[in-house]
Structure 1
């Protein structure tokens, strides 16, 4: 079964492995995410779930987004992303998805948006 979660990079650090060698690692704040919507083949043309991550200040929430999260029974989130799954029925709208869905040794695909540094060349 495919799994998905939204996170944000906190920074970099290093750890020592069993041989005493230094290994660079990335620290990621992963979840908890809330399931804000389920996508179905009948309505949307594909199966998947929409996850929300990161709290928003109540005064920053627009009315359409507030209605979307009220329908899900969850607090508004800053980031919304969709994940395509074959069986979205395993997730309930309003349920929390935490990092414990992954097991040690699981392989993951990471997608990110890089910070723009402007034009840096001739």
Structure 2
């Protein structure tokens, strides 16, 4: 639903089709799923850039850069700092 922007099915009255993909292809012909069909999978390979963060302090002896603001990504994730320009 989130990855491809699908609306989804009804959530009440005993519906079992909230976020399910539904039909993915015909059975007898062509007996396969077409290439490029929108299916569930990982979402989040895009790099997020945030502008306007402030570098508060650099501690080279502890190998730290203190940044003020919301840094995207998980805790312990890799962050790249670029010069504004």
Bin for the TM-score computed over the shorter chain: under 0.3
Higher strand share: 1
Higher helix share: 1
Q: TM-score by structure 2 length?
A: 0.23
Of structures 1 and 2, the larger Rg is shown by 2
Taking CA–CA contacts closer than 8 Å with sequence separation of 6 or more, which of the two structures ends up with the larger relative contact order? Answer: 1
